[in-house]
Amino acid sequence: MADMHPSETAHPTRHAALLAWVDDIATLTTPRDIQWCDGSEAEWHRLSQQLVDAGTLVRLAADKRPNSFYARSDPRDVARVESRTFICSEKAEDAGATNNWRDPAETRADMNRLFAGSMTGRTMYVVPFCMGPLGSPNSVIGVELTDSPYVVLSMRIMARMGKPALDMLGNDGFFVPCIHSVGMPLTEGVADVAWPCNDEKWIVHYPETREIWSYGSGYGGNALLGKKCLALRIASVMARDDGWLAEHMLILKITGPDGASHNIAAAFPSACGKTNMAMLECALPGWTVETIGDDIAWMRVGQDGRLYAVNPEAGFFGVAPGTGPSTNRNAVDTLHANAIFTNTALTADGDVWWEGLTKTAPEGLTDWQGKPFDPANGTPAAHPNARFAVPASQCPSIAAEWDDPAGVPITAILFGGRRATAVPLVTEAYDWNHGVYLAANIASEGTAAAEGKVGALRRDPFAMLPFCGYDMCQYFAHWIETARKAPNGGANLPKIFLVNWFRKDANGKFLWPGFGDNARVLKWVVERSTGQTDAIDSPIGRLPAPGALDLGGLDLDEAALTELLGVDVELWKEEAAGNARDLAALGTIPAELAEQQARLEERLTV
Protein backbone atom coordinates (compact mmCIF):
# COMPACT_ATOMS: atom_id res chain seq x y z
CA MET A 1 0.00 0.00 0.00
CA ALA A 2 1.28 3.46 -0.85
CA ASP A 3 2.02 5.81 2.01
CA MET A 4 -1.07 7.78 2.96
CA HIS A 5 -0.91 11.55 3.06
CA PRO A 6 -1.84 12.78 6.54
CA SER A 7 -4.72 14.89 5.20
CA GLU A 8 -6.44 11.74 3.93
CA THR A 9 -6.98 10.26 7.40
CA ALA A 10 -10.22 10.58 9.33
CA HIS A 11 -9.97 12.02 12.81
CA PRO A 12 -12.45 12.28 15.69
CA THR A 13 -11.49 15.71 17.07
CA ARG A 14 -11.56 19.39 16.20
CA HIS A 15 -8.54 20.21 18.37
CA ALA A 16 -6.59 22.29 15.85
CA ALA A 17 -3.22 22.11 17.64
CA LEU A 18 -3.50 18.33 18.03
CA LEU A 19 -4.45 17.85 14.38
CA ALA A 20 -1.57 20.04 13.22
CA TRP A 21 0.91 18.16 15.40
CA VAL A 22 -0.28 14.75 14.20
CA ASP A 23 0.02 16.04 10.63
CA ASP A 24 3.58 17.31 11.28
CA ILE A 25 4.78 14.04 12.83
CA ALA A 26 3.16 11.97 10.08
CA THR A 27 4.94 14.11 7.49
CA LEU A 28 8.23 13.49 9.32
CA THR A 29 7.80 9.75 9.96
CA THR A 30 5.88 8.81 6.74
CA PRO A 31 3.63 6.02 8.08
CA ARG A 32 1.62 3.85 5.70
CA ASP A 33 -1.58 4.95 7.44
CA ILE A 34 -2.85 6.63 10.60
CA GLN A 35 -5.35 5.21 13.09
CA TRP A 36 -6.97 7.18 15.90
CA CYS A 37 -7.44 4.86 18.87
CA ASP A 38 -10.77 4.87 20.71
CA GLY A 39 -9.92 2.40 23.50
CA SER A 40 -12.89 0.16 22.65
CA GLU A 41 -13.24 -3.58 23.14
CA ALA A 42 -13.49 -3.99 19.38
CA GLU A 43 -10.16 -2.20 18.94
CA TRP A 44 -8.56 -4.39 21.64
CA HIS A 45 -9.71 -7.59 19.93
CA ARG A 46 -8.71 -6.40 16.46
CA LEU A 47 -5.19 -5.33 17.49
CA SER A 48 -4.57 -8.33 19.73
CA GLN A 49 -5.54 -10.70 16.91
CA GLN A 50 -3.31 -8.72 14.54
CA LEU A 51 -0.38 -9.23 16.93
CA VAL A 52 -1.18 -12.92 17.40
CA ASP A 53 -1.13 -13.34 13.62
CA ALA A 54 2.21 -11.49 13.48
CA GLY A 55 3.76 -13.71 16.13
CA THR A 56 4.23 -10.85 18.61
CA LEU A 57 1.59 -12.15 21.02
CA VAL A 58 0.59 -15.63 22.10
CA ARG A 59 -3.01 -15.95 23.25
CA LEU A 60 -3.05 -17.69 26.64
CA ALA A 61 -5.43 -20.55 27.31
CA ALA A 62 -8.94 -19.23 27.93
CA ASP A 63 -9.44 -21.59 30.87
CA LYS A 64 -6.19 -20.33 32.44
CA ARG A 65 -6.21 -16.57 31.85
CA PRO A 66 -9.08 -15.32 29.68
CA ASN A 67 -8.39 -12.43 27.31
CA SER A 68 -4.69 -12.50 28.22
CA PHE A 69 -1.55 -12.58 26.10
CA TYR A 70 2.14 -13.39 26.25
CA ALA A 71 4.91 -11.47 24.48
CA ARG A 72 8.58 -12.30 24.11
CA SER A 73 10.78 -9.28 23.43
CA ASP A 74 14.00 -9.07 21.50
CA PRO A 75 16.85 -9.87 23.95
CA ARG A 76 18.29 -6.41 23.13
CA ASP A 77 15.14 -4.76 24.50
CA VAL A 78 14.35 -6.00 28.00
CA ALA A 79 14.51 -3.07 30.45
CA ARG A 80 14.56 0.69 30.98
CA VAL A 81 17.57 2.27 29.31
CA GLU A 82 18.55 4.85 31.92
CA SER A 83 21.89 5.56 30.23
CA ARG A 84 19.98 6.67 27.12
CA THR A 85 17.40 8.72 29.03
CA PHE A 86 17.90 12.47 28.71
CA ILE A 87 16.54 15.66 30.26
CA CYS A 88 16.88 18.39 27.61
CA SER A 89 16.25 21.50 29.69
CA GLU A 90 17.36 24.84 28.32
CA LYS A 91 20.01 25.09 31.06
CA ALA A 92 22.18 22.15 32.10
CA GLU A 93 22.01 23.20 35.75
CA ASP A 94 18.23 22.73 35.70
CA ALA A 95 18.71 19.03 34.89
CA GLY A 96 21.06 18.69 37.85
CA ALA A 97 23.83 16.27 38.75
CA THR A 98 21.68 13.12 38.68
CA ASN A 99 20.24 13.41 35.16
CA ASN A 100 21.78 12.97 31.72
CA TRP A 101 21.52 16.42 30.14
CA ARG A 102 21.65 17.25 26.46
CA ASP A 103 21.31 20.51 24.59
CA PRO A 104 17.68 20.70 23.42
CA ALA A 105 18.39 22.27 20.00
CA GLU A 106 21.09 19.71 19.21
CA THR A 107 18.85 16.89 20.43
CA ARG A 108 15.90 18.07 18.32
CA ALA A 109 18.10 17.91 15.26
CA ASP A 110 19.13 14.35 16.19
CA MET A 111 15.52 13.32 16.80
CA ASN A 112 14.36 14.78 13.48
CA ARG A 113 17.09 12.78 11.75
CA LEU A 114 16.18 9.53 13.54
CA PHE A 115 12.42 9.91 13.13
CA ALA A 116 12.57 10.89 9.46
CA GLY A 117 10.84 7.98 7.73
CA SER A 118 10.98 5.85 10.90
CA MET A 119 7.37 4.68 10.50
CA THR A 120 7.57 3.86 6.79
CA GLY A 121 5.44 0.82 6.02
CA ARG A 122 3.82 0.87 9.46
CA THR A 123 0.66 2.32 10.96
CA MET A 124 0.96 5.39 13.16
CA TYR A 125 -1.48 5.04 16.05
CA VAL A 126 -2.79 8.19 17.72
CA VAL A 127 -3.28 7.25 21.38
CA PRO A 128 -5.04 9.86 23.55
CA PHE A 129 -4.74 9.02 27.24
CA CYS A 130 -5.54 10.52 30.61
CA MET A 131 -3.19 10.24 33.58
CA GLY A 132 -5.41 10.56 36.62
CA PRO A 133 -9.15 10.02 37.04
CA LEU A 134 -11.33 11.10 34.11
CA GLY A 135 -13.03 14.41 34.76
CA SER A 136 -10.58 15.58 37.41
CA PRO A 137 -9.16 19.08 36.85
CA ASN A 138 -5.89 17.74 38.26
CA SER A 139 -5.49 14.99 35.66
CA VAL A 140 -3.22 15.43 32.64
CA ILE A 141 -3.98 14.45 29.06
CA GLY A 142 -1.23 13.01 26.90
CA VAL A 143 -1.28 11.89 23.29
CA GLU A 144 1.20 9.23 22.21
CA LEU A 145 1.97 8.70 18.55
CA THR A 146 3.41 5.21 18.15
CA ASP A 147 4.06 2.63 15.45
CA SER A 148 3.65 -0.24 17.94
CA PRO A 149 0.25 -1.90 18.41
CA TYR A 150 1.75 -3.64 21.49
CA VAL A 151 2.12 -0.18 22.99
CA VAL A 152 -1.50 0.65 22.12
CA LEU A 153 -2.78 -2.44 23.95
CA SER A 154 -0.53 -1.80 26.96
CA MET A 155 -1.58 1.86 27.15
CA ARG A 156 -5.22 0.78 27.20
CA ILE A 157 -4.45 -1.14 30.40
CA MET A 158 -2.17 1.42 32.03
CA ALA A 159 -4.11 4.66 31.38
CA ARG A 160 -7.63 5.90 30.67
CA MET A 161 -7.09 5.62 26.94
CA GLY A 162 -9.07 6.51 23.83
CA LYS A 163 -12.32 8.39 23.28
CA PRO A 164 -12.93 9.35 26.97
CA ALA A 165 -9.51 11.04 27.12
CA LEU A 166 -10.05 12.77 23.77
CA ASP A 167 -13.47 13.99 24.89
CA MET A 168 -11.94 15.37 28.09
CA LEU A 169 -9.29 17.19 26.04
CA GLY A 170 -11.98 19.05 24.11
CA ASN A 171 -11.19 21.39 21.25
CA ASP A 172 -8.46 23.45 22.89
CA GLY A 173 -7.23 21.64 26.02
CA PHE A 174 -3.59 21.17 27.05
CA PHE A 175 -1.91 17.87 26.23
CA VAL A 176 1.60 16.45 26.54
CA PRO A 177 2.91 15.38 23.10
CA CYS A 178 4.53 11.93 23.24
CA ILE A 179 6.22 10.49 20.15
CA HIS A 180 7.40 6.89 19.97
CA SER A 181 8.88 4.73 17.24
CA VAL A 182 10.43 1.27 17.44
CA GLY A 183 12.94 2.54 14.88
CA MET A 184 12.47 -0.18 12.28
CA PRO A 185 10.89 1.21 9.10
CA LEU A 186 9.61 -1.36 6.66
CA THR A 187 11.38 -0.03 3.64
CA GLU A 188 11.54 -2.02 0.42
CA GLY A 189 13.01 -5.46 0.99
CA VAL A 190 12.77 -5.27 4.82
CA ALA A 191 10.67 -8.01 6.43
CA ASP A 192 8.91 -7.29 9.72
CA VAL A 193 9.79 -9.24 12.88
CA ALA A 194 7.78 -10.25 15.92
CA TRP A 195 9.49 -7.66 18.16
CA PRO A 196 10.81 -4.72 16.13
CA CYS A 197 13.36 -2.46 17.82
CA ASN A 198 16.67 -0.73 17.12
CA ASP A 199 20.11 -0.97 18.69
CA GLU A 200 20.09 2.82 18.99
CA LYS A 201 17.76 3.90 21.77
CA TRP A 202 16.73 7.33 23.03
CA ILE A 203 14.24 8.50 25.67
CA VAL A 204 14.19 12.28 25.52
CA HIS A 205 12.29 14.77 27.68
CA TYR A 206 11.90 18.49 27.04
CA PRO A 207 10.75 19.89 30.42
CA GLU A 208 9.99 23.45 29.31
CA THR A 209 7.79 22.41 26.37
CA ARG A 210 6.42 19.28 28.12
CA GLU A 211 7.38 16.90 25.30
CA ILE A 212 8.58 13.28 25.21
CA TRP A 213 10.34 11.58 22.28
CA SER A 214 11.26 7.89 22.46
CA TYR A 215 13.10 5.92 19.78
CA GLY A 216 14.34 2.37 19.30
CA SER A 217 12.68 0.45 22.15
CA GLY A 218 9.29 -1.22 22.31
CA TYR A 219 9.60 -2.21 25.96
CA GLY A 220 7.98 -1.00 29.16
CA GLY A 221 8.65 2.47 30.42
CA ASN A 222 10.73 3.23 27.33
CA ALA A 223 7.62 2.93 25.17
CA LEU A 224 4.61 3.39 27.48
CA LEU A 225 5.23 7.11 27.73
CA GLY A 226 2.45 7.86 30.20
CA LYS A 227 4.23 6.03 33.00
CA LYS A 228 7.70 7.14 34.14
CA CYS A 229 8.16 9.68 31.33
CA LEU A 230 4.97 11.70 31.79
CA ALA A 231 3.70 10.78 35.24
CA LEU A 232 7.09 11.36 36.90
CA ARG A 233 9.77 13.11 34.81
CA ILE A 234 7.54 15.66 33.07
CA ALA A 235 4.94 15.76 35.86
CA SER A 236 7.62 16.49 38.48
CA VAL A 237 8.53 19.65 36.55
CA MET A 238 4.86 20.59 36.16
CA ALA A 239 4.41 20.00 39.89
CA ARG A 240 7.38 22.21 40.74
CA ASP A 241 6.03 24.99 38.51
CA ASP A 242 2.41 24.71 39.68
CA GLY A 243 2.85 23.91 43.36
CA TRP A 244 2.09 20.20 43.78
CA LEU A 245 4.04 16.91 44.10
CA ALA A 246 4.52 14.11 41.53
CA GLU A 247 6.07 11.20 43.41
CA HIS A 248 7.29 7.64 42.97
CA MET A 249 5.01 6.40 45.75
CA LEU A 250 2.44 3.75 46.53
CA ILE A 251 -0.81 4.75 48.23
CA LEU A 252 -2.62 2.42 50.61
CA LYS A 253 -5.68 2.68 52.86
CA ILE A 254 -5.60 1.15 56.35
CA THR A 255 -8.69 0.75 58.50
CA GLY A 256 -8.70 -0.14 62.19
CA PRO A 257 -11.25 -2.00 64.33
CA ASP A 258 -12.95 1.32 65.12
CA GLY A 259 -13.77 1.82 61.44
CA ALA A 260 -11.51 4.85 61.07
CA SER A 261 -9.52 4.82 57.82
CA HIS A 262 -6.21 6.47 57.03
CA ASN A 263 -4.25 6.73 53.79
CA ILE A 264 -0.48 6.31 53.69
CA ALA A 265 1.92 7.11 50.86
CA ALA A 266 5.28 5.36 50.72
CA ALA A 267 8.43 5.64 48.61
CA PHE A 268 10.94 2.78 48.32
CA PRO A 269 13.74 2.17 45.82
CA SER A 270 13.53 -0.93 43.65
CA ALA A 271 13.73 -4.34 45.37
CA CYS A 272 12.38 -2.95 48.64
CA GLY A 273 8.88 -4.44 48.57
CA LYS A 274 6.88 -1.49 47.24
CA THR A 275 4.25 -3.44 45.29
CA ASN A 276 3.98 -6.03 48.07
CA MET A 277 3.21 -3.28 50.57
CA ALA A 278 0.65 -1.63 48.30
CA MET A 279 -1.27 -4.93 48.25
CA LEU A 280 -0.50 -5.95 51.84
CA GLU A 281 -2.37 -8.87 53.39
CA CYS A 282 -2.74 -7.54 56.91
CA ALA A 283 -1.58 -9.79 59.78
CA LEU A 284 -3.28 -7.72 62.50
CA PRO A 285 -6.73 -8.95 63.59
CA GLY A 286 -9.40 -6.31 63.03
CA TRP A 287 -7.25 -4.24 60.67
CA THR A 288 -7.55 -4.18 56.87
CA VAL A 289 -5.30 -2.75 54.17
CA GLU A 290 -6.59 -1.73 50.73
CA THR A 291 -4.78 -0.62 47.59
CA ILE A 292 -5.09 2.81 45.97
CA GLY A 293 -1.90 2.83 43.90
CA ASP A 294 1.26 0.76 43.64
CA ASP A 295 3.77 3.08 41.97
CA ILE A 296 2.97 6.78 41.46
CA ALA A 297 1.19 9.42 43.55
CA TRP A 298 0.22 12.95 42.53
CA MET A 299 -0.37 15.03 45.66
CA ARG A 300 -1.80 18.49 46.21
CA VAL A 301 -2.36 20.55 49.35
CA GLY A 302 -6.07 21.11 49.92
CA GLN A 303 -7.73 24.20 51.35
CA ASP A 304 -7.76 22.47 54.73
CA GLY A 305 -3.96 22.16 54.62
CA ARG A 306 -4.03 18.37 54.19
CA LEU A 307 -2.22 16.59 51.38
CA TYR A 308 -4.54 14.83 48.89
CA ALA A 309 -3.23 12.07 46.61
CA VAL A 310 -4.41 10.38 43.44
CA ASN A 311 -2.99 7.41 41.60
CA PRO A 312 -2.60 8.70 38.03
CA GLU A 313 -2.42 5.19 36.54
CA ALA A 314 -5.22 2.80 35.59
CA GLY A 315 -3.17 -0.40 35.75
CA PHE A 316 -0.28 -2.18 37.39
CA PHE A 317 2.94 -2.69 35.44
CA GLY A 318 4.77 -4.99 37.79
CA VAL A 319 7.87 -7.18 37.87
CA ALA A 320 6.69 -10.79 37.71
CA PRO A 321 9.65 -12.76 39.20
CA GLY A 322 9.32 -12.95 42.97
CA THR A 323 5.57 -12.33 42.86
CA GLY A 324 3.81 -15.33 44.33
CA PRO A 325 1.10 -16.42 46.76
CA SER A 326 3.46 -16.17 49.74
CA THR A 327 4.76 -12.69 48.86
CA ASN A 328 1.77 -11.01 47.21
CA ARG A 329 -1.37 -13.07 46.84
CA ASN A 330 -3.40 -10.01 45.85
CA ALA A 331 -1.12 -9.37 42.88
CA VAL A 332 -1.34 -13.00 41.78
CA ASP A 333 -5.14 -12.92 42.02
CA THR A 334 -5.24 -9.66 40.06
CA LEU A 335 -3.60 -11.41 37.11
CA HIS A 336 -6.43 -13.88 36.48
CA ALA A 337 -7.55 -12.23 33.20
CA ASN A 338 -7.19 -9.28 30.80
CA ALA A 339 -3.41 -9.10 31.23
CA ILE A 340 -0.32 -8.86 29.03
CA PHE A 341 2.78 -10.74 30.20
CA THR A 342 6.19 -10.02 28.70
CA ASN A 343 9.34 -12.14 29.00
CA THR A 344 7.95 -14.62 31.51
CA ALA A 345 8.15 -18.33 30.72
CA LEU A 346 5.35 -20.10 28.85
CA THR A 347 3.87 -23.36 30.10
CA ALA A 348 2.99 -26.34 27.92
CA ASP A 349 -0.73 -25.86 28.62
CA GLY A 350 -0.88 -22.23 27.54
CA ASP A 351 -0.23 -20.34 30.77
CA VAL A 352 2.66 -18.21 32.06
CA TRP A 353 5.18 -18.94 34.82
CA TRP A 354 8.04 -17.19 36.54
CA GLU A 355 10.39 -17.82 39.43
CA GLY A 356 8.50 -17.30 42.67
CA LEU A 357 5.05 -18.12 41.30
CA THR A 358 5.36 -21.69 42.58
CA LYS A 359 8.12 -23.47 44.50
CA THR A 360 9.04 -25.68 41.57
CA ALA A 361 8.86 -25.07 37.85
CA PRO A 362 6.26 -27.05 35.91
CA GLU A 363 7.42 -29.55 33.31
CA GLY A 364 7.67 -28.52 29.67
CA LEU A 365 8.39 -24.83 30.14
CA THR A 366 9.56 -22.62 27.30
CA ASP A 367 11.84 -19.89 28.64
CA TRP A 368 11.66 -16.19 27.85
CA GLN A 369 14.01 -16.62 24.89
CA GLY A 370 11.83 -19.32 23.31
CA LYS A 371 14.01 -22.26 24.31
CA PRO A 372 13.05 -25.39 26.28
CA PHE A 373 13.75 -24.65 29.93
CA ASP A 374 16.28 -26.82 31.70
CA PRO A 375 16.59 -26.11 35.46
CA ALA A 376 20.00 -27.76 35.45
CA ASN A 377 21.64 -25.05 33.37
CA GLY A 378 21.24 -22.47 36.13
CA THR A 379 19.57 -19.75 34.05
CA PRO A 380 16.08 -18.54 35.00
CA ALA A 381 13.04 -19.37 32.91
CA ALA A 382 11.71 -15.81 33.12
CA HIS A 383 13.81 -12.72 32.55
CA PRO A 384 14.53 -11.00 35.91
CA ASN A 385 12.68 -7.91 34.59
CA ALA A 386 9.74 -9.86 33.13
CA ARG A 387 6.59 -7.79 33.43
CA PHE A 388 2.83 -7.90 33.64
CA ALA A 389 0.33 -5.20 32.73
CA VAL A 390 -3.12 -5.62 34.26
CA PRO A 391 -6.08 -3.35 35.13
CA ALA A 392 -5.93 -2.02 38.69
CA SER A 393 -9.69 -2.44 39.00
CA GLN A 394 -9.20 -6.25 39.08
CA CYS A 395 -7.13 -6.16 42.29
CA PRO A 396 -8.99 -7.93 45.14
CA SER A 397 -7.66 -5.34 47.60
CA ILE A 398 -8.49 -2.27 45.50
CA ALA A 399 -10.09 0.52 47.56
CA ALA A 400 -13.35 2.12 46.50
CA GLU A 401 -11.56 5.50 46.41
CA TRP A 402 -8.77 4.39 44.11
CA ASP A 403 -9.97 6.53 41.19
CA ASP A 404 -11.73 9.30 43.13
CA PRO A 405 -11.11 12.58 41.23
CA ALA A 406 -10.78 14.42 44.56
CA GLY A 407 -8.02 12.13 45.77
CA VAL A 408 -7.58 10.81 49.30
CA PRO A 409 -6.17 12.69 52.33
CA ILE A 410 -2.74 11.41 53.34
CA THR A 411 -2.12 10.80 57.04
CA ALA A 412 1.53 9.76 56.83
CA ILE A 413 4.37 9.36 54.32
CA LEU A 414 6.93 6.57 54.62
CA PHE A 415 10.39 6.40 53.09
CA GLY A 416 12.76 3.45 53.26
CA GLY A 417 15.59 1.50 51.72
CA ARG A 418 17.14 -1.94 52.14
CA ARG A 419 19.53 -1.67 55.10
CA ALA A 420 21.01 -4.61 57.05
CA THR A 421 22.33 -2.37 59.82
CA ALA A 422 22.08 1.15 61.24
CA VAL A 423 18.54 2.13 60.27
CA PRO A 424 15.82 1.14 62.79
CA LEU A 425 12.56 -0.57 61.90
CA VAL A 426 10.67 2.73 62.09
CA THR A 427 11.67 6.28 62.91
CA GLU A 428 9.39 9.32 63.05
CA ALA A 429 10.82 12.59 61.75
CA TYR A 430 10.88 15.47 64.23
CA ASP A 431 9.17 17.76 61.72
CA TRP A 432 8.56 18.18 57.97
CA ASN A 433 12.05 19.48 57.17
CA HIS A 434 13.64 16.67 59.16
CA GLY A 435 11.50 14.26 57.13
CA VAL A 436 12.78 15.82 53.90
CA TYR A 437 16.33 15.30 55.21
CA LEU A 438 15.64 11.62 55.97
CA ALA A 439 14.08 11.11 52.54
CA ALA A 440 16.97 12.86 50.81
CA ASN A 441 19.35 10.28 52.28
CA ILE A 442 17.53 6.98 51.81
CA ALA A 443 19.77 4.27 50.42
CA SER A 444 20.13 0.55 49.92
CA GLU A 445 23.22 -1.58 50.35
CA GLY A 446 24.84 -2.42 47.04
CA THR A 447 26.17 -5.86 47.96
CA ALA A 448 25.73 -8.28 50.83
CA ALA A 449 29.48 -8.36 51.34
CA ALA A 450 29.53 -4.65 52.05
CA GLU A 451 26.58 -4.44 54.42
CA GLY A 452 26.83 -1.56 56.85
CA LYS A 453 29.64 0.16 54.98
CA VAL A 454 28.53 3.65 54.04
CA GLY A 455 30.67 3.66 50.91
CA ALA A 456 28.71 0.72 49.49
CA LEU A 457 25.35 2.48 49.73
CA ARG A 458 23.33 3.24 46.63
CA ARG A 459 21.61 6.53 47.32
CA ASP A 460 18.15 7.05 45.90
CA PRO A 461 16.76 10.30 47.34
CA PHE A 462 12.99 10.05 47.75
CA ALA A 463 13.24 6.92 45.50
CA MET A 464 13.18 9.50 42.68
CA LEU A 465 16.75 9.32 41.39
CA PRO A 466 15.89 7.92 37.91
CA PHE A 467 12.57 9.78 37.70
CA CYS A 468 12.98 13.41 38.80
CA GLY A 469 12.86 15.60 35.70
CA TYR A 470 14.96 18.39 37.17
CA ASP A 471 17.75 19.21 39.61
CA MET A 472 17.51 17.20 42.83
CA CYS A 473 18.50 20.13 45.05
CA GLN A 474 15.68 22.19 43.52
CA TYR A 475 13.43 19.20 44.18
CA PHE A 476 14.35 19.18 47.90
CA ALA A 477 13.65 22.92 48.01
CA HIS A 478 10.24 22.34 46.43
CA TRP A 479 9.31 19.88 49.18
CA ILE A 480 10.37 22.41 51.82
CA GLU A 481 8.46 25.17 50.03
CA THR A 482 5.32 22.98 49.93
CA ALA A 483 5.17 23.03 53.72
CA ARG A 484 6.06 26.72 53.93
CA LYS A 485 3.15 27.67 51.66
CA ALA A 486 0.61 25.25 53.16
CA PRO A 487 -2.29 26.62 55.25
CA ASN A 488 -1.77 26.69 59.02
CA GLY A 489 1.99 26.70 58.53
CA GLY A 490 1.91 23.11 57.33
CA ALA A 491 0.47 21.83 60.63
CA ASN A 492 -2.04 19.60 58.81
CA LEU A 493 0.47 17.99 56.49
CA PRO A 494 1.29 14.28 56.97
CA LYS A 495 3.89 13.12 59.42
CA ILE A 496 6.98 11.61 57.78
CA PHE A 497 8.58 8.30 58.80
CA LEU A 498 11.67 6.30 57.85
CA VAL A 499 11.18 2.51 57.77
CA ASN A 500 13.50 -0.46 57.24
CA TRP A 501 12.09 -3.98 56.92
CA PHE A 502 15.52 -5.47 56.13
CA ARG A 503 17.65 -5.22 59.27
CA LYS A 504 19.67 -8.38 59.97
CA ASP A 505 21.27 -9.98 63.00
CA ALA A 506 24.95 -10.96 63.30
CA ASN A 507 24.24 -14.20 61.43
CA GLY A 508 22.72 -12.42 58.46
CA LYS A 509 19.13 -13.39 59.31
CA PHE A 510 16.32 -10.90 58.93
CA LEU A 511 15.15 -9.67 62.33
CA TRP A 512 11.66 -8.60 61.19
CA PRO A 513 9.18 -10.98 59.50
CA GLY A 514 7.96 -8.34 57.05
CA PHE A 515 5.07 -8.76 54.59
CA GLY A 516 1.72 -8.80 56.45
CA ASP A 517 3.40 -8.00 59.75
CA ASN A 518 4.46 -4.64 58.36
CA ALA A 519 0.90 -3.62 59.26
CA ARG A 520 2.12 -3.51 62.87
CA VAL A 521 4.39 -0.63 61.91
CA LEU A 522 1.57 1.00 59.95
CA LYS A 523 -0.61 0.83 63.06
CA TRP A 524 2.03 2.65 65.11
CA VAL A 525 2.43 5.21 62.31
CA VAL A 526 -1.32 5.88 62.31
CA GLU A 527 -1.45 6.07 66.10
CA ARG A 528 1.49 8.48 66.18
CA SER A 529 -0.13 10.60 63.46
CA THR A 530 -3.37 10.81 65.46
CA GLY A 531 -1.76 11.31 68.89
CA GLN A 532 -2.78 7.92 70.32
CA THR A 533 0.59 6.40 71.26
CA ASP A 534 4.00 7.30 72.59
CA ALA A 535 7.49 7.68 71.17
CA ILE A 536 10.92 8.29 72.58
CA ASP A 537 13.49 10.68 71.17
CA SER A 538 16.76 9.44 69.71
CA PRO A 539 19.58 11.25 67.88
CA ILE A 540 18.04 10.30 64.53
CA GLY A 541 14.32 10.76 65.25
CA ARG A 542 11.46 9.43 67.36
CA LEU A 543 11.23 5.67 67.97
CA PRO A 544 8.35 3.56 69.37
CA ALA A 545 8.18 3.76 73.14
CA PRO A 546 8.38 0.43 75.01
CA GLY A 547 5.14 -1.43 74.43
CA ALA A 548 3.88 1.00 71.80
CA LEU A 549 4.48 -1.38 68.88
CA ASP A 550 1.74 -4.04 68.68
CA LEU A 551 3.62 -7.36 68.73
CA GLY A 552 0.73 -9.54 69.88
CA GLY A 553 0.96 -13.06 68.48
CA LEU A 554 4.38 -12.41 66.98
CA ASP A 555 7.32 -14.63 67.92
CA LEU A 556 9.90 -11.87 68.40
CA ASP A 557 12.24 -11.94 71.37
CA GLU A 558 13.30 -8.88 73.32
CA ALA A 559 16.86 -8.98 72.00
CA ALA A 560 15.65 -8.86 68.40
CA LEU A 561 13.30 -5.97 69.17
CA THR A 562 16.12 -4.08 70.89
CA GLU A 563 18.32 -4.52 67.84
CA LEU A 564 15.49 -3.59 65.44
CA LEU A 565 14.93 -0.30 67.25
CA GLY A 566 18.53 0.34 68.24
CA VAL A 567 20.57 3.39 67.25
CA ASP A 568 24.34 2.82 67.24
CA VAL A 569 25.74 6.32 67.76
CA GLU A 570 29.20 5.49 66.41
CA LEU A 571 27.73 3.89 63.31
CA TRP A 572 25.45 6.89 62.87
CA LYS A 573 28.41 9.24 63.00
CA GLU A 574 29.63 7.38 59.89
CA GLU A 575 26.12 7.63 58.43
CA ALA A 576 26.03 11.38 59.05
CA ALA A 577 29.40 11.84 57.38
CA GLY A 578 28.20 9.81 54.40
CA ASN A 579 25.00 11.87 54.21
CA ALA A 580 26.98 15.11 54.15
CA ARG A 581 29.30 13.83 51.45
CA ASP A 582 26.57 12.48 49.19
CA LEU A 583 24.30 15.50 49.59
CA ALA A 584 27.21 17.76 48.65
CA ALA A 585 27.72 15.73 45.47
CA LEU A 586 24.21 16.70 44.37
CA GLY A 587 25.03 20.41 44.37
CA THR A 588 24.00 23.26 46.64
CA ILE A 589 21.40 21.82 49.00
CA PRO A 590 18.75 24.06 50.61
CA ALA A 591 19.82 25.82 53.80
CA GLU A 592 17.11 23.95 55.68
CA LEU A 593 18.77 20.61 54.88
CA ALA A 594 22.20 21.93 55.84
CA GLU A 595 20.62 22.90 59.15
CA GLN A 596 19.18 19.38 59.57
CA GLN A 597 22.62 17.93 58.88
CA ALA A 598 24.15 20.14 61.59
CA ARG A 599 21.41 19.19 64.07
CA LEU A 600 21.98 15.49 63.48
CA GLU A 601 25.72 15.86 64.02
CA GLU A 602 25.06 17.83 67.22
CA ARG A 603 22.62 15.23 68.59
CA LEU A 604 25.16 12.49 67.91
CA THR A 605 27.78 14.23 70.06
CA VAL A 606 25.59 14.87 73.11
Name the β-bridge partners of 215: 181, 202
Whole-angstrom distance, CA of residue 602 vs CA of residue 433: 17
> Within 10 A of 135 (CB to CB), how many other CB atoms are there?
12
Whole-angstrom distance, CA of residue 356 vs CA of residue 319: 11
For residues 469-486, one letter each, b for 16 or more C-beta atoms within 10 angstroms of the residue's C-beta and e for the rest, the string is bbbbbbbbbbbbebbeeb
The H-or-E segment that residue 527 falls in is helix 518-529
Give the three-state DSSP class for 453.
coil
37 flagged as catalytic? no
Give the three-state DSSP class for 54.
helix
CA dihedral 271, 275, 278, 279 (to 10 degrees): -130
**CA-based nearest residue to 436, from 175, 247, 159, 225:** 247
**CA-based nearest residue to 138, from 171, 93, 168:** 168
Q: 3-state DSSP helix/strand/coil percent for the chain, to nearest 5? A: 35, 20, 45
Residue 149: CB partners within 8 Å, gap ≥ 6? 47, 50, 51, 56, 123, 125
Q: Give CA 12 to chain center in angstroms.
A: 32
Whole-angstrom distance, CA of residue 122 vs CA of residue 110: 21
**CA-based nearest residue to 495, from 435, 549, 541:** 435
Indicate which residue of 130, 272, 282, 395 is catalytic: 272
> Within 10 A of 576 (CB to CB), how many other CB atoms are there?
20
Under DSSP, the state recorded for 416 is E
Kindly list the catalytic residues.
272
